Structure 1
Amino acid sequence: MNVHVTPPQSPKQFYRRELPAGCIEFSSEEGKQVFKEALSSGHMDCYFKLAAQFRTQDEPAFCGLSTLVMVLNSLSVDPGRVWKGPWRWYHESMLDCCMSLQLVKKQGITFDNFVCLAECNFLITQPVRAEENFSEGTFREVVKQTTRQDKSVLVISYSRKVLNQTGDGHFSPIGGYHPGRDLALVLDTARFKYPPHWVPVTTLVTAMRSIDPDTGKPRGYIQLSRHFDFTPLLLFRISPQLSVTFSQGLSSELTTFMNFWLQWLSEPADADKDQESIVQQAVLEVLKWASFLSETASILTSQLDVKCPELVSEGHLCAVKDMMESLEKLDIFPLLSLTLCDFVATKSKEVVQKVCRAAGIPNCMSGNVQCCELMKLLTPAHFFSILLLSWPYKVVSKSEMSNAAKLQDFADKHKEQVSGVLQNEISALMKQLKTILKLYKEDNLCTCR
């Protein structure tokens, strides 16, 4: 008996898509003519720096990350972190603030996630959602303004469906504008799917007004410019494991830790205790929970390039040393060192190791640290000091009687003595933590109120 076996179906494959009617391909004859006319009108000034950094996204869901990488590199933002070899340069793999990259690969990012990532990487953001009072005329003026200069970039969050393209939510930078035909140049990072194309502004407005099913809110646009008041972090950084929202993948143990910590900060402070006692109590509360974290969990960590001194300049290392010395001169440092020593004296080696890892110091008590001499000088006291000085307490609690308020007063007094690289390190970390905490609170899973 002959049995016919149907061969397995091969997955459907594509080599790009045809642009739908209403979208003009940038490299077509019509697209070239639109470019020439837009260039002569003065509305292509933003194009050249963006074009020099034009990327094709590495993952199907990386449109937001690739768009942001284009913006950061076109605005000459120094990440302060090594990409490969000796080079500091932005890449999607370095955008691990606010959300985990593994999660982004699965589901992409939302409008708020994009803003969070931009602010974590020292950009000034002006986000506008296409809500009921959204003005098409105002958006058109923003397009005209941003395309006539190269100091800021306009990014739109929109639905492809409105453009009759496949897919839905997408991020793209705007690379130019033709005032006569009211066309905006969409520099689509999914170049494996669609090439860059010109789209009527009215169509883009409709696409931005579409509701994102993940948030229940309309999409919109973000104006982005460089924040010149901030320089890159030199030594410390927030652990990527904290850089996700509670409802989107934060590990259960870190969720428990953060919920506990934020709840304790929002509680009324003990009136009988002075500020130093509150600080000691805060550290002991953190230590109590940090000692339960797994081997892979951490709260803060240090910059990768500082661990590899051959990748950084002598000036960088000198600045890090100065910052460590400035931190050690503050009153908070010996206070925390003493508190930590008392804690260590009563705990097992395994618990101490967990606390070290939570502070981003692998094997810090074993004497086998495989890193430069500078890293061997780092102790949990450095990390706890910087954490308490840079924590944005006002985001957690507005009450003047809370633990957060007492710690805020203590931190403010210390920060009056701070200047130079340490001041920048504290300000930059606070900015990132503030951005992430706001996103946490919007998830409505944070127990603090």
Structure 2
Amino acid sequence: MSSRKRLAAVSALVPMLGGAGLCLGASGALADTTLTIATVNNTQMIEMQKLSPQFEQSHPGIHLKWVVLEENVLRQRVTTDIATHGGQFDILTIGNYEVPIWAKQNWLTPFENLPSSYDVDDVLKPVREGISYKGKLYALPFYAESVMTLYRKDLFQKAGLTMPDHPTYTQIREYADKITDKSAGIAGICLRGKPGWGENMAYFTTLVTANGGQWFDESWKPTINTPAWHQALTYYDDILKKDGPPGAASNGFNENLALFTSGHCGMWIDATSAAGTVFDKAQSQVSDKSGVTAVPTGSFTGGPTWLWSWNLAIPASSKQVDAAKQFITWATSKEYVQLVAKTDGWVNIPPGTRTSSYESAEYKQAAPFSPMVLEAINNANPLAQTKNPRPYTGAQFVSIPEFQAIGTNVGQTVAATLAGSMSVDQALSSAQAATARTMRQAGYPKKQ
């Protein structure tokens, strides 16, 4: 949709949302206020920025200043700002990793006394629980996700393959070998390779779990240089070098999304939030050729499963709390979902947050993947045990403050194997030593 048409569509919807009951008396109730919003450059957030003139029109006293950053940069900027009480931002886009940790530090403003029109009970329970601390919400979810396998049905048919409902990693390897066509620019599989605790390590941690591994034992000793990690990294390194796209070590979520939608990936194991873009005819060249199935399983099943949400939160340092709450309730409301649906199509609504979205007949028709996504999120269990007992929670991350640095450091060594600068053995030995050093310096083992 062109910018002119988009703005026209937004303007046409102003009356509808003006009466949504979420303005909270904003129009004329506040002196001119400028909110500085830090967000990630994902598709859904870019859409939020494009639709935000609607909010400003119905809230004439509030102006929005956007800081849109690549995922790793966003995390570094907002973490530094909130830890130092820098006060650069009024609204932060953060994950369910940060919310409880930062709430415990009194770094976030709680969301209390939300209007009945917001219908907080409509938010999926696992998502609500992930952004709560001591029974209070400290952020509101913009979109949420679990994990799935996206694949090209046409390539599978051409190769005489049938994707099962619950594939194994052994099968995925066989399929990747058969559908890779480098002469046609088609990689059999795309996986996150860009270093970062929320980039390559988000996916890779799930692969480790599937191989029976974990980050720490019950005494908080790192368990990186172990057979399970060796099996996982050998598989990952080998399949991406043989069947992955060029430059895999530089590809994060957004890069792989671009590769898949442009027809250059046969399979992609990643966040369920990608499905909306993949199945949107306006954004994807393979919208009618794609299918979805469950995340592959390895030698260990039943462990913790991926649950992530991108949320909007207010740092305690903000002096514009009332205005920030008004914007956040608007951007995470049922009415905002309707706005996106009418402006850009139901397939593009922010996924994974509201029961009402998944009950919508329009969404079910536009998003054939939606039942699988709902089931994956409702059944997500980041509290489940790994093969061997562990002292922490989290599925694709470890719920301790130190993990942000640890995960990013280990992510760099994992990426180094893809780049050919380290062997699997060297990477695991280096990561084990660095993580053990960090944990000693942080005083582990200690009471959590």
State the TM bucket, normalised to the shorter chain.
Answer: under 0.3
TM-score w.r.t. the length of structure 1 is 0.25
TM-score w.r.t. the length of structure 2 is 0.25
Question: Higher Cα Rg: structure 1 or 2?
Answer: 1
